[in-house]
Chain A
Amino acid sequence: GQNIDQPTEMTATEGAIVQINCTYQTSGFNGLFWYQQHAGEAPTFLSYNVLDGLEEKGRFSSFLSRSKGYSYLLLKELQMKDSASYLCAVSPLNDYKLSFGAGTTVTVRA
């Protein structure tokens, strides 16, 4: 089975940086995804990591350490529109399914 943990809530100020951690224990590993979900809407894809290291996409970066079963999503220069839930999801090896964490609700305050 899969076990994915991430914090429930985080609050940060507009313009600041927030780091959302995700730890996982899986039977086999074929990559880790981060999704953003605004309230009442469907999740949208942010990033995918399968190799160790940092992937940067504009204000968002995602890091993976396979040996530690650990990833983080870094949000820089926070904007009010970044207030959302951020979901960590793991793809097991040779499996069609994703296992999702419960999500981290980020609230950006002025």
Chain B
Amino acid sequence: SQTIHQWPATLVQPVGSPLSLECTVEGTSNPNLYWYRQAAGRGLQLLFYSVGIGQISSEVPQNLSASRPQDRQFILSSKKLLLSDSGFYLCASAGARLAGTSSYNEQFFGPGTRLTVL
């Protein structure tokens, strides 16, 4: 089964500072990778997803960017953080599962990074 590592676990940053969150995946190869943000008491908002090295799709316009320098490494970055960037950031990896004669992609989540921008 997959294991997803994220660091740091918590982060407090001033407005205007840069950001780099890292996610690495073990136990699978060529996974689809995802970055989500969850504001307090809210659902998951998909920020970026990647189907392969160097392939990034952005879901919402914002001051964040993502990169995938290696097959099992996914990085979320910002040059200048805003107050509205505060939230719980989750990395996810999709792995194929069998259900009878069909298959589906189950998303496994990392432990998350809680970011507070002050």
Residues of A with Cβ closer than 8 Å to B?
30-31, 33, 40-45, 48, 50, 87, 89, 91, 96-103
Contacts and interface: CB of A to CB of B under 8 A. Distances in A.
B31 to A, nearest CB: 10
B97 A100 contact: no
A87 B42 CA distance: 10
A87 B99 contact: no
Interface in B78-118: 88, 90, 94, 97, 99, 102, 104-112, 114
Question: What secondary structure prevails in chain B residues at the interface with A?
Answer: strand
A33 B105 CA distance: 10
Nearest to B108: A45
A41 B44 contact: no
B76 interface: no
B46 interface: yes
A63 to B, nearest CB: 16
A87 B111 contact: no
Interface of B: 32, 34, 42-44, 46, 49, 51, 59, 88, 90, 94, 97, 99, 102, 104-112, 114
A33 B107 CA distance: 10
Given A43-B44, A96-B94, 19 more contacts: A30-B104, A41-B112, A42-B111, A42-B112, A44-B109, A45-B106, A48-B99, A48-B104, A48-B106, A50-B99, A50-B104, A89-B107, A96-B32, A96-B49, A98-B46, A98-B107, A99-B46, A100-B46, A101-B43
A86 to B, nearest CB: 11
A25 B4 CA distance: 31
Contacts of A98: 46, 107
Contacts of A31: 104
Nearest to B33: A96
Contacts of A96: 32, 49, 51, 94, 105
A100 B107 CA distance: 12
B43 A100 contact: yes
B111 A91 contact: no
A31 B107 CA distance: 13
A101 B111 CA distance: 20
